[in-house]
Structure formats: structure tokens, C-alpha cells
Structure 1
Amino acid sequence: MIAAIVKGNCLVEIAEIAEPSIAKPTEIKIRVISGAICNTTDNKIYATDHPEKNWPFKSFPFVLGHECSGVIVEAGEEVNELKVGDRVVYWTVEGGAFAEYLILDTADSTVSKINDAVEDDTAAMMEMVIGSARLLFSANGEQYINQDSTVLVIGLGPAGLIYTRLALLMNARRVVCAGRGELRINTAKSLGADAVIDVNAEGYLDHLHESLEGGADIIIDATGGDVVSLMTAMGKKGARVIPYGITPFDWNDRLSELTKAGLLSPDFSGHETARHAIRWCVEKAEAGLLGLSSIISHRLPLDQVGRGLDLCRLEKDKTLKVIIQISEF
């Protein structure tokens, strides 16, 4: 099969490699239709001499990608709720997605069937959508955002834009976004945010505080930076922090700042909440309600995946989500 192989720092090649085989009874094999570049994670392991220092902690060479969707072509004997021919989405897999075939272990990944009415572009992004949504649910399925919630989304890359849409779909009372860049700001507005504040504008903190109308109940960090001081300044007492961005610090070293400000500490739940999130996300996608087509800025064939990675890293002001066409089914 063909696959995108990262062989060195900013060196990716499309090569023929052995087709993977099912090794466990809980695994499924999918023929990948399309994938999506993760703007942050994929570049952290592509534009580096030491990919093993970042998730999924693999050394050169490796098959790139963890966001994709496809159709099951083989299923292990202990896979009961899915069958050959089902189109599926999931969260998550430790690489290997930018190839004609991918093995998913249903014991490790949360996997769901999704109907053919959902566009391939949307299905390709579902790994990120589900991964974002899982932080908005408790382990028992409670939805953190409701009609009484004022939500602050910090950062307007693809993750922040996805969170903007998810908050609106959860019927938040008010969704306020803070970010930079004309494309990102305009996209947040088009998705339906109640207010979008340019953090490069003079007096933006005053504008943000005014837009929140008394403070945020839910604060979502989609920046990958250090925005703890902004969280503590804008959150109400008891506000919940949703930490999606990959921060340059250990959260354990900063929890005291949140506690002092009266904010709830982040919950880093995994597959428990993903099971609730995947059902909710698939339901919204199949009903045509996700409305995320505007966050796609580029669609490229697999042999241009290197260009897509460079767009995400070097042309951030012009790039949002990049879809990679893997194969026709």
C-alpha cells in the first residue's frame, strides 16, 4: 500500500509499504478515504530532529497522521457492533492514518459507525471533533455546557473554531471568542459566535470582559500557550477550565492559580468521556448540524501532504484545516 512516511526533519515521502494485518480479535482494518492534518501535533513530529519526544513518541521513519475516516474491510472475531462495509470514525490512534489501510483496536480506540450522508471532509475531521467534545462531558455523560453557560474560547485555530461550534450546538447562552488573524476571526463570526475579540487590538481585555457580561462559566484553552492569567481574570467563581491546547507547562504546577481564583481544576478524562462524545458528535454530524465546512481552507492529495504540513506551520494566517485525500472507495 502507499503511505506518507516521515523519514527526517521536514522530509516526508509517499512510498509503498507492507499492508497491515489484523493481529488481535478486537481489531478492525479500514481502507482510509480521507484524513486531516493536525496543525500542531503532526508538525511537532514532522518539523523536528526528535519526533520521539512528542506524541505518539515514534522515531523516524513512521507513517504520519492520526485523523482520518474509512470503511471496514476486515474485522476481528470479537468485534460485534461493527462489520465489514461500515464507514467509521474514531478517537484516537497513535499514528498511521495517512495510508491506504489502517488498523484500529476497538479495545483501545473509541469507534463508531457513521452514515454515508456525512461528507468525507467532515468525517475526516471527526477524530478532532470527538477529541474536543470529550472534554465537554463528565465520565457519567453530563454535558458541561448548557443554556445557562457563558463560554469563553481562547484561540481560534481549528480546535478553537470547533469548540465555538460545539458550544453553540450545546445551546450555550453566550459564546465569546478571543484570538487573532483576519481569517480566524471572520470564521469564528461565520460559525455564529456572539462576540469575537481580536487579542491584538488595543484595549482588548476591556472588550473581552464587557462581552462576557459578568465572566465566563466555561473557559476553553485552544491556544497551546500560557493563558492562565487570562483565565483567572475572565472566569466566574466556579468556572470550569477545559484544557485542549498542548501547553508549554505542566498543569500540576499551575493548579494553585486556578484554585486561588475560584476556578475548577481541569479534568483530563479519556475514553470514558470519549464514548459519550462520539455518540453526540455522530448524531450531530448525521443530522447535518456540525456546520464545520468553513474551517477547511485546503484540500490536497496525499502526494502533497508535505505542502499541507508547511501551510499549517508557515502560513498560519492563510490556513485552517487541511484535508488530505487518501483513496477512493
Structure 2
Amino acid sequence: MADNTTPRAITCKAAVAWKPLEPLKIEEVQVDPPNSTQVRIKMVYASMCHTDFTCLKGNTLFPMFPWILGHEGAGVIESVGEEVKDLKVGDNVMIFYVGECGKCANCASGKTNLCSRYPQIVCDDETSKIYSKGQRMYRMFSSSTWAEYAVVESNYVVKVDPRMPLSHACLLTCGFTTGYGGVWKGFKFEKGSSVAVLGLGAVGLGAVKASQILGASRIFGIDVNDMKRDIARAFGVTDFINPKHFDKPISQVIQEATGGQGVDYCVECTGVASLLNEAIASTKMGVGETVLISIPPEEKGELNYIPMILGRTLKGSNFGGVKIHSDIPKIVEKCEINLGDLITHEISLADINKGLFEYMKQPDCVKVIIKF
């Protein structure tokens, strides 16, 4: 007699990127059962990030096609591998692109969130469980959330606090948490510090919220879009600055607003080379710190910050330095805000191209979520 409890392949829909910068195609795909250490998740919500669009362009970091994009999402576990101990069928979960074993040299060091045993994998089809038209699909960050089902290594999965809607939980799986962690983990933050955040998308607003929670006395929010002013203030910005309204560098505007001193900390969320220069120059000479948390756009630019460092510190960050099993529950507990305020557009999977090519380019867009 056949074992009806054994998971089998599922046929469902997914948004497939066949070629660079071409519209995604909604295809029928087959999603195999999880292996012994994986879980298969029925997606409920996924969200869009500018990194997804960067991957669609195709470059030296993301040259492979075809693949299924999406690295932010939340859903319900449909089946589990036999070695999975802490997760079960029916659990509401979030999917992340970094893991945490807690035991490797990196995890034990306390210096980084990049686990050696469960590293960030940009794209690897050898463990992919998704096929379309007889072809194995590459997976973005080993998750590919723009599909009705995803198969993920269980260590990259975290249970959702039952108080949090899945539509909000998916927002914590990349952007907002990256910005929040950039401040929380990136700086030795003192109450009363001053902060500047360049770029007020979901990442920047996460940095703003962390600064507010940690007791910043003044938070400068910098964005070229005046439509971000109200939401920036709602998240904690005290001084909103649109560089287009000034005929001087933004670093000079911030220096002048702080009596010529500059801010204690700066978070650069745009990836624009010239703004990294401005971010560093906005901080206090000798003690100012800047954290870079962004993927650069196609634009070319020179970094001229070496002459202006003058004792300042510049550091990079991956997922804001956040450890998914140790830190995500703390962020959920601290963030007494309505993450739903970040959601400006909600679409179905069928409208994926409208979200990616139209809504994400609109000036009022903060976050586009996909409801399955």
C-alpha cells in the first residue's frame, strides 16, 4: 500500500525570469518534496525589493538564467524533512537568506551574522527543487519566494510570532530588518546621539525606527522624494531633507544644521557612490561612523572619501548584522509599530510585472507585497 503521508511533487504557479530585463512569465512549475533537512512552504505573502530588480538585470553577480526571483516572504509549512526538529506542518514562518547555526567560528565570535555552516547563497541550482518545462530553475538566495510554494533549508526559516500578521512578517525578511540592524548592530549607539539616514525606502525607515527606539536626539532623513516626508516623520525622522531643494552638498547642509559638527552616525541606503562620499562627510570628524547597507545601481562613480575620513569609520553590513534565530524575536518585540504602514501596494502573482516595472518606480512606493 502506498504511503499517502509521504510528500510528493506539487504543481503550482511561479513567476519565471527567462532572460535579463524581460517581463516575468507566470509558468506552471513542479516543486519537489523537501529533502531531510528542508521544509516546503505554501507562500501566503511575499514582498519586492530593489535587489530583485538588480538580479533581473543580470550582471557578474547574477549572470544565471532562468530563475525564480524573490527573497522576502512568509507562509505556512506544508511538509518537512525527517531530520527537521523545531518546525512542523502548519507553522507560520518567515524565510530568510542568511542562516545561524550558533556553533561555527563565525557564529561563536559574536562579530558577524554570516554563518559559515549556513552561508548566504546568491544562486545555486544544485539543491533547487523547482522545475519548469523540464528545466531546473535557479533560486534567488536559496528561497525564490515569487512562487506559490518554496523549498528552503530549515535553518533559514523562523517561526512567526502569533501576534504578527503574515503580511507584516514578510517585511522583516530583508529591507526593514537590514536597516534596523544596521543601526542596532552596526553602531555602539548612545542615547542622545544624532543620526542621518540617506534613502528612505524600507531599509532607511528601518534605520530610522531603530535610531528612535535607541534614543536618538535628532534623526535626519534624506530623500529626493517629498512624498516620503510624512511616513519618515511617522517612523521617527525629526529633520526631513530633500537634496533637490538645496544648491549645496547634503553633507554641508547637515554640517550647518549641527553647528558645524556633523552627526554621530550615518546610514547610507542608496548605493550611489557620490552619496557615500556625502554620508562620510556628514559625520563628526574623528569619531563619526558610517555604515553602508545597499547594492549599488548601474551608475558608475568614484569614491573620493579617503581624504575626508579624518578618523571617521566606514563599515559594510549584510542583513544589518542581524542573526535570524537570536535577534529576529527581539526586533519583533521592540518594534511597537504598524509595519503595515510600509505597504503601499498589494498585488497578486498574476500582476507581478505591474509591481516590478510600474509600482516600484512610483514616487509614493515604499513596499509592494504579493498576496498568494
Does TM, normalized by the shorter one, top 0.5?
Answer: yes
Q: Tell me, in whole angstroms, the C-alpha distance in 2 between the residues paired with 1:64 and 1:317.
A: 23
Please point out which of 19, 22, 33 is paired with 1:10.
22
Contact 2:293/2:316 (<8 A) preserved: no
Contact 1:164/1:175 (<8 A) preserved: yes
| Residue 89 (str. 1) matches residue 94 (str. 2) | yes
Further displaced range: 189-198 or 92-101: 92-101
User: Which residue matches 2:115?
Assistant: none
Q: Tell me, in whole angstroms, the C-alpha distance in 2 between the residues paired with 1:155 and 1:211.
A: 18
Q: Tell me, in whole angstroms, the C-alpha distance in 1 between the residues paired with 2:28 and 2:64.
A: 19
| Residue 28 (str. 1) matches residue 39 (str. 2) | yes
Q: Tell me, in whole angstroms, the C-alpha distance in 2 between the residues paired with 1:106 and 1:255.
A: 43
| Residue 290 (str. 1) matches residue 337 (str. 2) | yes
Q: Tell me, in whole angstroms, the C-alpha distance in 2 between the residues paired with 1:223 and 1:260.
A: 20
TM-superposed CA distance for 1:233, in Å, is: 2.0
Q: Tell me, in whole angstroms, the C-alpha distance in 2 between the residues paired with 1:305 and 1:281.
A: 29
Alignment of 1:44-55 (within 5 A): 44-46=54-56, 48=57, 51=58, 53-54=60-61
Further displaced range: 164-173 or 177-186: 164-173
Contact 2:33/2:79 (<8 A) preserved: no
Q: Tell me, in whole angstroms, the C-alpha distance in 1 between the residues paired with 2:319 and 2:165.
A: 27
SS at match of 1:17: strand
User: Which residue matches 2:76?
Assistant: 71
Contact 1:20/1:101 (<8 A) preserved: no
| Residue 244 (str. 1) matches residue 293 (str. 2) | yes
Between the aligned residues of both structures, percent identity stands at: 23
TM-superposed CA distance for 1:312, in Å, is: 4.7
AA at the equivalent of 1:14: I
TM-superposed CA distance for 1:12, in Å, is: 0.9
Contact 1:255/1:265 (<8 A) preserved: no
Please point out which of 295, 300, 303 is paired with 2:347.
300
Question: Against the structure 1 CA distance between its residues 164 and 312, is the aligned structure 2 distance closer, same or farther, given a 3 Å change threshold?
Answer: farther
Contact 2:71/2:145 (<8 A) preserved: yes
| Residue 197 (str. 1) matches residue 241 (str. 2) | yes
Tell which structure's C-alpha radius of gyration is larger: 2
Q: Of the two structures, which has the highest relative contact order with CA contacts closer than 8 Å and spacing of 6 or more?
A: 1
Contact 1:4/1:64 (<8 A) preserved: yes
AA at the equivalent of 1:294: D
User: Which residue matches 1:278?
Assistant: 328
AA at the equivalent of 1:318: D
AA at the equivalent of 1:188: A
Question: Against the structure 1 CA distance between its residues 294 and 11, is the aligned structure 2 distance closer, same or farther, given a 3 Å change threshold?
Answer: same
Alignment of 1:196-275 (within 5 A): 196-203=240-247, 205=250, 206-212=252-258, 214-226=261-273, 227-236=275-284, 237-247=286-296, 257=306, 260-268=309-317, 273-275=322-324
User: Which residue matches 2:9?
Assistant: none
TM-superposed CA distance for 1:271, in Å, is: 9.5
Which structure 1 segments of 5+ residues have no match? none
Which structure 2 segments of 5+ residues have no match? 1-11, 98-140
Q: CA-to-partner distance for each residue in 1:194-231, whole Å, 9 max, x for gaps? A: 11111111256454234446322221011120123212
Contact 2:277/2:304 (<8 A) preserved: no
Q: CA RMSD in A?
A: 2.7
Question: Against the structure 1 CA distance between its residues 154 and 90, is the aligned structure 2 distance closer, same or farther, given a 3 Å change threshold?
Answer: same
Calculate the TM-score normalised by the size of structure 1: 0.82
Contact 1:195/1:211 (<8 A) preserved: no
